[in-house]
Structure 1
Amino acid sequence: MASKSAATAVQNHLLTEKELLAMPESDYMNEAQLAFFRDRLKRLEQDIISNAGATTENLRETQFVPDPADRATIEEEHALELRTRDRERKLLKKVQQSITRIDSGEYGWCEETAEPIGLARLLARPTATLSLEAQERREMRQKLYGD
């Protein structure tokens, strides 16, 4: 029964970043921390989805502009917006994969070493799947071998 009330308390109070960082290492990826990151990822997911909807509306509003320079500017703005949305589409996939990792109990743990990724790194990049050291090794290999 105590665990159920603890879970309810977690749902009713999301940690702040300060509270999250103040927790002892032994609490790493406990229910409260997972709830914090799930909320952060869900909000990011909703922001990306709403931005995509706004882009679609903006691109539908085609206007005829007789001046070639103005038309070129509008086309360039559309191209930039499409590139931004493409990056966000890729980020959305990572966000959804991170939520799945929370559900499976793998979130917060390095895919290569199974060591903690770390709260500070997850706050900076909530979709991280590698510890800082593993990420640096991967980048070094890519630089050396062009992987």
Structure 2
Amino acid sequence: MKTSSPPVAQSSSSAAHAPELRADPDAGLTNKQLRSLYEKLRSEESRLAEEIKRNIQEAVTEAERHADEGDQASQNANQAYLLRYADKQNKLLQQVRRALQKMQTGEYGICEGSGEPIGVQRLNLRPWTRYSVEYKEQMDRDKRRR
């Protein structure tokens, strides 16, 4: 039951323009922890966006090179790898942005599967995580049984 108000924090970087950060009250996060997790997420968001941009640019550059048939096969394989990697990074970027959005709506820190708090240690390691360790392990066990 949610009786207390959620922790609310302003980001330390440009507090005048930073969104109001809120965790779900049941998550048990302090304002300091919430700010730290927000900064980690913003840093990861920037890193991923740059990496995606760089990989796509490199893939496009690969496609524009004119090479003999032997080099062409190698270039095609490298281009396919870069695009697959950029796609994987884009999926992670979407998870990071989803976590940032949850910080603004006050839903952050709660497992999407069980509704239980996600441990602070897990959030520190993967601030974009959607599931608690217990729920993720259960999902993995269920997946292996299929």
Shorter chain as normaliser: what TM range?
A: 0.7 to 0.9
Range with bigger deviation, 129-138 or 118-127: 118-127
Q: Match of 2:136?
A: 135
Higher strand share: 2
Q: Match of 2:85?
A: 84
Gaps of 5+ in 1: 1-5, 13-26
Aligned 1:1-147 pairs, distance under 5 A? 11=12, 28-61=28-61, 62-66=64-68, 68-145=69-146
Report the TM-score when normalising by structure 2.
Answer: 0.75
Residues 59 and 83 in structure 2, CA contact (< 8 A), matched pair in contact too = no
Secondary structure of the equivalent of 2:12?
helix
Q: How far did 1:7 drift?
A: 5.4
Secondary structure of the equivalent of 1:115?
coil
Question: Which structure's relative contact order is higher, taking Cα pairs within 8 Å and 6+ residues apart?
Answer: 2
Structure 2: how far apart are the matches of 1:36 and 1:119? 11
Structure 2: how far apart are the matches of 1:7 and 1:104? 13
Q: Deviations over 1:88-116 (max 9, x none)?
A: 11111111110011112221121233322
Letter in 2 for 1:142: K
Higher helix share: 1
Query: 1:140/1:91 Cα in 2 relative to 1: closer, same or farther (>3 Å)?
Result: same
Gaps of 5+ in 2: 1-7, 14-26
- Percent identity over the alignment is 26
Q: Deviations over 1:39-62 (max 9, x none)?
A: 111111111111122123223322
Q: How many residues align?
A: 125
Structure 1: how far apart are the matches of 2:34 and 2:95? 16
Letter in 2 for 1:65: A
Structure 2: how far apart are the matches of 1:97 and 1:30? 20
Q: How far did 1:85 drift?
A: 0.5
